[in-house]
A and B are shown apart, each in its own frame.
Chain A
Amino acid sequence: MEGSFLLPALVLVPLIGAIITLFMGGKRQKYAKYTAFVTTLVILAIAVVLLLADDLSAYDFSANWIDTAGVKMNLIFRVDGLSILMVFLTSVLVPLALVFSYKEGDRPNYFYTLLLAIEFGLLGVYTSADYFLFYIMWEVTLIPFYFLISWYGGPRRHYAAIKFLIYTHVASLVMLIGFFALGFEAAAINGAGVNFSFDYINSAVGGFGEVFQTLVFGLLFFGFAVKMPAVPFHTWLPDAHTEAPTAGSVLLAGVMLKMGSYGIIRICLENLPLGAVNWQNVMIFIGVLSMIYGAYACIAQRDLKKMVAYSSISHMGLVMVSMGCLSDIGIEFAIFQMFAHGLISAMLFMVCGWAGHSVGTREIPLLGGLAGKLPYFATFMMFAFMASLGLPGLIGFWGEFGIVYAFYEWMVANNVIYLLVLPLLSLLLTAGYYLWAMQRTLFGKLTDRIDLSKAHDMDRIEAIVLGALAFLVAIYGFWPDLALHYIDLYAIGFFGVI
């Protein structure tokens, strides 16, 4: 056992918080939210310490875990330029999502337990540097999320929850096969026992054959692409989002989807470069397809939250394209877009989920003219939509801009610059569905199709949460280097190293 204990603490604090809130039943229920909030603040503080650190490698932690019969699994935690932003994103979004749902009255202690358990899994995924640990943490995120949907979700919650669980679980099993393949192959090449640590397997990359790399890349890619999600493996996402409670949607879109793209970069691209080259066209095809298909699907949606869910598919398609470019700039802006989309989609789902609760419906055709009655809601909705459609000066723009530029460089290198039409079309469609949704929701005649007598504007706490997110979106949008300089640590020279 060696290294700093900060990262294990980061991962364990939410678990401890989850256990405490789990037992806060009965009369103590009303304290559960404070306990959970304090827990998440501690995590946020640790994340900020990490963010301000000069040298991230000082926080590496490693310990033996299972070391028997030639199979070695380790407890290794580590952050680098890729994971630090994901850790920060997670630790920012969880407290905000938690505060945003402070009104949750139905068994609140379990609700907060589930959120903290999800945070435990997420932080574990983003900090672990051992395949086995990574896999366990990956699975840890699924189970509480399943319960979050099926206990606290909408009317079709059971269907959505089981669909989510089976779909993503099948994907992660395929991924597990890939992990085993990596582990055994690396052991064969290194000529020692099986060791699942990232470093051990990474040291064997030179010996992986092209056929092996291509096959294993395929398995892992499937596992991660379902999570992202990429068309055509995406249909679990709109259902899960529609039924999940607001906090669940925020975490799902904000950080859980990023597990997929994180995995592709961290595991597929780092370890299987030859496979990546063979799968490059597929990645780009799927990415572009997701972008445009998702954007078109958005136009047809009637449910605000479902529309935003499809927009997530479209925006994660950008990430897929960017990774598929297999260039430093592509990786750089894929990570940036993951971060940007995390912040923006959190806002989007908060706003749309709030509409469902407080206005009574999220059906766009039933809404209308709300800007006059609910000015705070309208302001934040416009801000979030504008950020998501890539308004320059906000964080979303730089992600899109960098990605389309990376894609364009790839086009020039492959002499297919006419493809530039496709990302530009998707940017235009994105503006189209958001503006159309705003027109029908916020503007025009105040709706008389629903009863608005109980509708009231956002309260102070909700406005502060959204304001905090809006601040982050604006500040990173004004100075993208605040995020990029972490990413550069990781991404610059990425394809020179592997």
Chain B
Amino acid sequence: MIVEYVWLVPLIPILCFVLVGFFGNHMHQGGGYLSIAGAAASFIISIAVSVEFWTSAAYTDPGYVTNSITWFSLGGHDVNLGYYVDSLACLVMLFASFISMLIFIYSLGYMGDQGGRKRRYFAEVSLFLTGMLGLAASSNMIEMFVFWELMGLCSYLLIGFWSFNHPEGDAKAINAASAAKKAFLVTRAGDVCLMGGMFVLFQAMGSLDYTVIFNTANLNAANPDTLFLASLLIFGGAIGKSAQFPLMDWLPDAMAGPTTVSALIHAATMVKAGVYLVARCFPLFVMNIDVMLFVGVIGGVTAFFAATMAMNNMNIKKVLAYSTLSQLGYMFLSLGAGGYLMALGMQSGDTALMAAGALGYTAGILHMANHAFFKGLLFLCSGSVIHSCGTEDMRLMGGLGKKMKITSITMLIGSLSIAGFPFFAGFWSKDLVLETALDAAGNGACGWIFLLLWFLGVVTAFMTAFYMFRLWYMTFAGEPRENAQKSHGESPHSMTIPLCVLSCFAFAFGFVLLFGFDGLFTIGLNADGLWQVGGVAGAGAVHYFLELFTNPYTYLTIILVLGAIFLAYLMYCKKTVDPGKFNKHGQAWLYKACASRWWLPEIYNQVSWKLGYGVAKCVDFFDRQVIDGTVNGLSNAVIGGGELARKAQDGNAHTYAGVVIGGAVALFAVALILFVVYGGI
């Protein structure tokens, strides 16, 4: 059984981290080849594990393979260290290791000029990969949390990769340092919530093993209020890690890191962890319909607001960052709407509703995988552009399509995919997300909320297509502007080959639905009444064609997407429509709101400064003046006004010995009186 060796998957990259970290300077490319080999090995083992698992008997019953050893015991309950392989874990391991491998290859070219810093880079990205793979393979929440935080550390280190000795000067270094801190702290705010959720769950269940906490019987036996609290707190962790409203602000700032790191964070690791967590905890969250409603609302709101921020941004990486936020919002909307339907179905015993809910789960997971491919592709393309032009400002680009053929075509594929152009990967999953949201709108007491969220989702689809093609036209079409004229053409092969590979997946990964693999990514109650990911036959091509193409709303989104692309073409390529017309030349409040990210960074700053440093200043003053003042005042009173300091200078300890003994006698007397009064002796 290869499945039993799944622990090798996270172990290999961490070994690479150690080897590269210590000996990278003596290796080719600062250990880059070793890191690539490690990621490739993890990928190959992931394939072997996945194939074996999907063809084994365990896949249909019970739907997972798990094993563990005792790590230590906490309050009389064992905490285990082990692995847990199911379809979800396999999927995450596969795309994380595959995309990371491609990003590492790309880094050979992109980071090629970094000299001695390559050692640090390749060591840290290997550790990052360990975090994501370990997260996917963990068998309980405490173990998962270790990897979860490991990713937080790596994101801190990598976002701050240029936080000192920045090649473009100190201002950028200061910016990178502050972005890294912000990323760690904001996600940490989510992480402490997740920790709280783990405490609540551990106290209630006596274990954090997936097999125990997601067992239907245990869930039904537990106090619903406790589960509600645990779910909300755990979701808090997902909000932080996946940068959802209101903890979304760190991700745009995180663009201060190298572009490859952005690709890693957005495609393969980090932000996918939050989605994974919600998908993993689906059986828990679904116990309470309000939790799922909350998940959906957070997702829908984030999808919409993040998309607005991307509309008028001029920084090529920032636009992609906002689009990540927005797409993650879709995933949460999908999981939330699916969970909402599932919970309704469970309450009323309606299997049709439960099937609709399972579709939402499938759509969310599939969108996570699709997004991994197209967002990895888009970031790497933008990296290729930045590498070539030396700027991130799209106003200085333009006309690069002729000089960078491969980059422009692959980026077009990525843009079509994320925009949801028919038959590209993003189309399938996004339209299923919207369909689930609309499904949820027609059911239950809170359906109208999902109607609203569906509407936001459709508007977001329009905006996505618009800003992605705005980006593409500004970069690749029209006349070359300043930096684009100095561009030194297409990037080296080590960079373009990963682009080509990724663009195949960004186009075609959606077809897994049509080939009947959707059964792998669905969730439901199996014959024993236990939750199981996968394990059912896929619905197949006909089902999804009927599902999507008999639905009039699918055509609505397709028309909106095409319209948005056309609008972007008119505004930024043909220039027959002046963009300034829509926003009073940058003076409209809406324009300003989007440009300043709805003032979220400002609010963050004020709150953290006031609640952090402001309170700290008060505490410090209190500490020095009141507490320490009392102490010094008391000792001065004993010794006699201000003598302490002077006498201390001559170091004459006799005086103090006298004082000390005097004090002791006094205290002894007090104590004696107390004993006599209370009759203790």
Residues of A in contact with B (beta carbons under 8 Å apart):
150, 158-159, 161-163, 165-167, 169-170, 173-174, 177, 181, 184-185, 188, 209, 211-212, 215-216, 219, 231-232, 234-236, 293, 296-301, 327-329, 369-372, 386, 391-393, 397-398, 401-402, 404-406, 408-409, 412, 417, 420, 424-425, 427-429, 431-432, 435-436, 438-439, 442-446, 479-481, 484, 488
Contacts and interface: CB of A to CB of B under 8 A. Distances in A.
Nearest to B170: A445
4 shortest A-B CB distances, which residue pairs?
A443-B177, A299-B616, A300-B620, A445-B170
Contacts, number: 195
Contacts of B75: 327-329, 405-406, 409
- Interface of B, secondary structure class, is helix
A391 B149 contact: yes
B681 A185 contact: yes
B671 A420 contact: no
A448 to B, nearest CB: 10
A267 B560 CA distance: 75
9 contacts: A163-B635, A173-B664, A372-B165, A392-B146, A401-B142, A405-B202, A439-B177, A446-B170, A484-B72
- Interface of A, secondary structure class, is helix
Given A170-B663, A185-B680, A235-B627, A301 B656 contact: no
A159 B648 contact: yes
Contacts of B142: 401
Given A166-B656, A209-B680, A446-B165, 4 more contacts: A165-B656, A300-B620, A435-B181, A444-B177
B659 interface: yes
Contact of B628 (A181, A235, A393, A425): A235
Contacts of A420: 196, 199
A232 B627 contact: yes
B196 A391 contact: no
Contact of B616 (A162, A231, A300, A402): A300
Contacts of A327: 75
Contact of B178 (A232, A297, A439): A439
B316 interface: no
Given A166-B635, A177-B668, A420-B199, A300 B617 contact: yes
Interface string B173-190: 110111011001100110
A242 to B, nearest CB: 13
Given A392-B146, A406-B75, A435-B181, A443 B176 contact: yes
Interface in B96-154: 142, 145-146, 148-150, 153
A231 B626 CA distance: 12
A372 B681 CA distance: 66
Contact of B192 (A386, A428, A435): A428
A170 to B, nearest CB: 6
Nearest to B184: A435
B407 to A, nearest CB: 32
A290 to B, nearest CB: 12
A444 B164 contact: yes
B681 A188 contact: yes
A401 B149 CA distance: 13
A446 B166 CA distance: 11
A188 B679 CA distance: 13
A296 B176 contact: no
A234 B675 CA distance: 28
Interface in B628-681: 628, 631, 635, 644-645, 648-649, 651, 656, 659-660, 663-664, 667-668, 671, 674-675, 678-681
B631 A167 contact: yes
A300 B619 contact: yes
Contacts of A439: 163, 177-178, 180-181
Contacts of A397: 146, 149
Interface residues of B, number: 70
A184 B672 CA distance: 13
A152 B200 CA distance: 49
A178 to B, nearest CB: 8
Contacts of A162: 644, 648, 656
Contacts of A328: 75-76
Nearest to A239: B628
B549 interface: no
Contacts of B675: 181, 215
A298 B195 CA distance: 23
Nearest to A436: B181
Contacts of A300: 613, 616-617, 619-620
Given A420-B199, A427-B195, A443-B163, A329 B659 contact: no
Contact of B150 (A167, A234, A392): A392
Nearest to A445: B170
A297 B165 CA distance: 31
B153 A386 contact: yes
B150 A393 contact: yes
A435 B163 CA distance: 13
Contacts of B678: 211-212, 215
A370 B558 CA distance: 54
A405 B74 contact: yes
| Interface hub of B164, B200, B648 (most chain A Cβ within 10 A) | B164
B619 A297 contact: yes
B453 interface: no
| Interface hub of A166, A169, A427, A446 (most chain B Cβ within 10 A) | A166
A480 B72 contact: yes
Given A162-B644, A369-B164, A432 B612 contact: yes
Contacts of A234: 627
Contacts of A163: 631, 635
Nearest to A296: B619
Interface in B71-96: 71-76
A300 B189 CA distance: 20
B668 to A, nearest CB: 6
Contacts of B644: 162
Given A209-B680, A391-B149, A408 B199 contact: yes
B551 interface: no
A431 B675 CA distance: 46
A219 B680 CA distance: 13
Contact of A445 (B174, B181, B649, B681): B174
Contacts of B674: 215
A241 to B, nearest CB: 14
| Interface hub of B73, B170, B189, B671 (most chain A Cβ within 10 A) | B671
A397 B651 CA distance: 42
Nearest to B21: A379
B195 A401 contact: yes
Given A293-B619, A300-B617, A386-B153, A443 B199 contact: no
B242 to A, nearest CB: 18
B185 A435 contact: yes
B679 to A, nearest CB: 7
Given A173-B663, A296-B616, A393 B174 contact: no
A165 B659 CA distance: 12
Interface string B592-615: 000000000000000000001101
A393 B170 contact: no
A238 to B, nearest CB: 8
Given A158-B649, A300-B620, A435-B184, A219 B671 contact: yes
A408 B203 contact: yes
A177 B75 CA distance: 36
B21 to A, nearest CB: 10
B328 interface: no
A294 B173 CA distance: 30
A484 B177 CA distance: 37
Nearest to B70: A481
A166 B659 contact: yes
A416 B178 CA distance: 37
A404 B195 contact: yes
Nearest to A213: B680
Contacts of A169: 660
B680 A181 contact: yes
Contacts of A417: 200, 229
Interface string B371-411: 00000000000000000000000000000000000000000
